[in-house]
């Protein structure tokens, strides 16, 4: 889904080839769930990105994948045993907020330097490499943030191949290299950084700037030089390769077992289900649960779409009253998510019992889901929220998870969907959260609040589509806030609900910018909602980006 219509200069653009990576690159464990380790250990080439906590770490991973090379983010504490099965071709050390000379600053594990793999240190990653290999890092007399002019000292180095000797780069650092490690030389400098790039001639490189951001115009060239000229990557990761390898992996994992898959109507579950169906055919049963928290006429649309386009076993379960009863008087968003997750498990358990023995549960878990749900102490990312697709099953169910999309970003999933031949309206459907409208109603969920929000959301979507904006937005939706507002309708004073409109542009939901929707469209949306949605007399527009906010309100 393109976001170019509303993109400004601060929003990263996705450019070039858009390959995908393996879904079974390493085994992971969830409570109560057995997740398989890779059946194809070593079958792929991987660039390993060691995450030191930079806001750009995920963007590094995206840029590498856009260059047709698979990569994974791993914690700086990851042992070689965890990495070896990925068949690494090189290592990228990300930026980060720490200073390497401080006590407890994160450093790269010893295997990074002992493996003989090419290394690209970016910003803090460069400083960590220098510090660990015998050089010195010190506070800079003047910090360097924003644009800088990079001047090459050794333009013949492979990392700079095809780039001008003077070029614009994006800096973000307060420390600098004061002494080179043994065997290294300076490759480039800026006015404020005498050592802005360095290398040892044996594939160990460091750059003080950020090539992954759009503010470094030649950044993609630098990344591809590292991937292809230094690491020797083949660039073989394409949607077609992914489909073929993933289908074969599912066959090996499932054997002659049966699988159930939760369908939501969104692209993630649809692509996951299609991959599993292609692998095992009728031994897959898809289950669509109407939890009562869906948008206007969505249950009907989902059933029609899947019955029309996908020849799969489909079981429809209307559990709306059951879910609403379980959510009665609940206002805490994390509790809402937990309750909805538990009720889904109960529904699936009942369906699994009805279908006889079921050995596997397929889910459309994505890489951002995994990252945002990391538990504290895992060294990758602080837990932002519990994601509905990431977690465990009760011990007594003992179904093994099939998660073919676990290491893909959203745009990569759409590429796979197109490769599979799924209908465009399904592939480019705006994301909708598993907990549904429950996390778009701030406070208690009631039949009345759901009806108000459904109407407001219906009106918003009608106007977005009527004005040709749908494909330019990552998400657009209404939120029923827990605020009340004094208003006037006719000659009467009202005290009604406040609806918030949220619309964002993004490439993968890891970051997002608020959409610059034309004022006349917002005016029609506001007017219609106040006139047509029950008990609403005020509409506000959310202009918060991610970060600092999340896309959803809860």
Residues annotated catalytic, as ranges: 123, 210, 212
DSSP 225: I
- Other C-beta atoms closer than 10 Å to the C-beta of 77 total 14
Task: Write out the two tokens for 200.
Answer: 């040892």
Residue 505 backbone dihedrals phi, psi, to 5 degrees: -110, 145
Given a contact cutoff of 8 angstroms between Cβ atoms, the answer to whether 323 and 361 are in contact is: no
Q: What does each C-alpha distance from 526 to 56, 73, 173, 484 come to in angstroms?
A: 36, 42, 44, 16
Report the distance separating Cα 412 and Cα 428, nearest Å.
12
N-terminal to C-terminal alpha carbon distance within the chain: 24
DSSP 14: P
Long-range contacts of 480-485 (CB under 8 A, 24+ apart): 480/440, 480/441, 480/442, 480/449, 480/452, 480/453, 480/456, 481/442, 481/540, 482/442, 482/443, 485/537, 485/538
Q: Which of 412, 121, 406, 380 is nearest to 239 (CA)?
A: 412
Given a contact cutoff of 8 angstroms between Cβ atoms, the answer to whether 536 and 452 are in contact is: yes
Which residue in this structure is represented by tokens 């009340």? 484
DSSP-assigned states of every residue in 74-92 = EETT--HHHHHTT-EEEEE
Given a contact cutoff of 8 angstroms between Cβ atoms, the answer to whether 288 and 302 are in contact is: yes
Say what the alpha-carbon torsion angle 406, 409, 413, 414 is, to the nearest 10 degrees.
170
Biggest CA–CA distance in the chain, Å, is: 82
Q: Compute CA 488 distance to the chain's CA centroid, rounded to the nearest angstrom.
A: 43
Long-range contacts of 463-469 (CB under 8 A, 24+ apart): 463/521, 463/524, 463/525, 463/528, 464/503, 464/521, 467/518, 467/521, 469/5, 469/515, 469/517, 469/521
DSSP E strand stretches across 227-358: 259-263, 284-290, 313-318
H helix intervals, 147-281? 219-224, 239-254, 267-280
Report the distance separating Cα 44 and Cα 86, nearest Å.
7
- Other C-beta atoms closer than 10 Å to the C-beta of 316 total 15
Helix 447-466 crosses helix 519-532 at what angle (to 10 degrees)? 150
Q: What does each C-alpha distance from 434 to 11, 20, 244, 350, 375 come to in angstroms?
A: 27, 24, 28, 19, 20
Report the distance separating Cα 44 and Cα 42, nearest Å.
6
């Amino acid at each position: 889904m393109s976001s170019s219509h509303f993109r400004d200069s601060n929003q990263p653009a996705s450019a070039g080839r858009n390959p995908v990576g393996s879904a079974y690159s390493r085994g992971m464990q969830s409570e109560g769930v057995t997740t398989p380790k890779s059946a194809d250990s070593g079958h792929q080439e991987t660039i390993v990105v060691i995450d030191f906590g930079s806001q750009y770490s995920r963007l590094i991973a995206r840029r590498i994948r856009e260059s047709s090379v698979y990569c994974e983010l791993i914690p700086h504490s990851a042992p070689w045993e965890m990495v070896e099965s990925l068949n690494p071709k090189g290592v990228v050390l990300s930026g980060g907020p720490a200073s390497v000379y401080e006590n407890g600053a994160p450093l790269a594990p010893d295997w990074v330097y002992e493996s003989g793999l090419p290394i690209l240190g970016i910003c803090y990653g460069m400083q960590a490499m220098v510090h660990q290999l015998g050089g010195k890092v010190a506070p800079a007399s003047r910090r360097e943030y924003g644009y800088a002019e990079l001047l090459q000292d050794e333009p013949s180095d492979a990392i700079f191949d095809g780039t001008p000797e003077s070029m614009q780069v994006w800096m973000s650092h307060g420390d600098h290299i004061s002494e080179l490690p043994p065997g290294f030389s300076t490759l480039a400098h800026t006015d404020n950084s005498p050592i802005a790039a360095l290398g040892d001639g044996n594939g160990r490189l460091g750059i003080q700037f950020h090539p992954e951001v759009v503010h470094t115009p030649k950044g993609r060239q630098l990344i591809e030089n590292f991937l292809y000229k230094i690491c020797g990557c083949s660039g073989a990761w394409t949607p077609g390769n992914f489909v073929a390898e993933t289908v074969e992996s599912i066959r090996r994992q499932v054997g002659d077992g049966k699988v159930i898959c939760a369908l939501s109507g969104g692209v993630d579950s649809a692509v996951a289900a299609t991959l599993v169906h292609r692998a095992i055919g009728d031994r897959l049963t898809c289950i669509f649960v109407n939890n009562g928290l869906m948008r206007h006429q969505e249950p009907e649309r989902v059933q029609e779409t899947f019955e029309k386009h996908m020849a799969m076993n489909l079981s429809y379960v209307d559990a709306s009253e059951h879910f609403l009863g379980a959510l009665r008087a609940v206002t805490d968003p994390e509790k809402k998510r937990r309750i909805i997750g538990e009720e889904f498990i109960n529904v699936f358990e009942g369906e699994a019992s009805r279908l006889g023995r079921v050995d596997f549960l397929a889910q459309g878990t994505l890489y951002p889901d995994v990252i945002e749900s990391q538990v504290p102490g895992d060294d990758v990312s602080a837990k932002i929220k519990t994601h509905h697709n990431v977690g465990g099953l009760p011990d007594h169910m003992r179904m093994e998870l099939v998660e073919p999309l676990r290491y893909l970003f959203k745009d990569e999933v759409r590429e796979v969907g197109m490769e599979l031949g799924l209908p465009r309206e399904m592939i480019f459907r705006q994301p909708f959260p598993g907990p549904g409208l429950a996390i778009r109603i701030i406070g208690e969920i009631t039949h009345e609040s759901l009806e108000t929000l459904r109407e407001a959301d219906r009106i918003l979507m009608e106007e977005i589509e009527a004005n040709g904006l749908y494909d330019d937005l990552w998400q657009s939706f209404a939120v029923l806030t827990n605020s009340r507002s004094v208003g006037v309708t006719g000659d009467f004073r009202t005290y009604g609900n406040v609806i918030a409109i949220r619309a964002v542009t993004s490439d993968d939901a890891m970051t997002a910018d608020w959409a610059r929707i034309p004022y006349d469209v917002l005016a029609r949306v506001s007017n219609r909602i106040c006139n047509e949605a029950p008990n609403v007399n005020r509409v506000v527009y959310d202009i918060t980006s991610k970060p600092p906010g999340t896309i959803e309100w809860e």
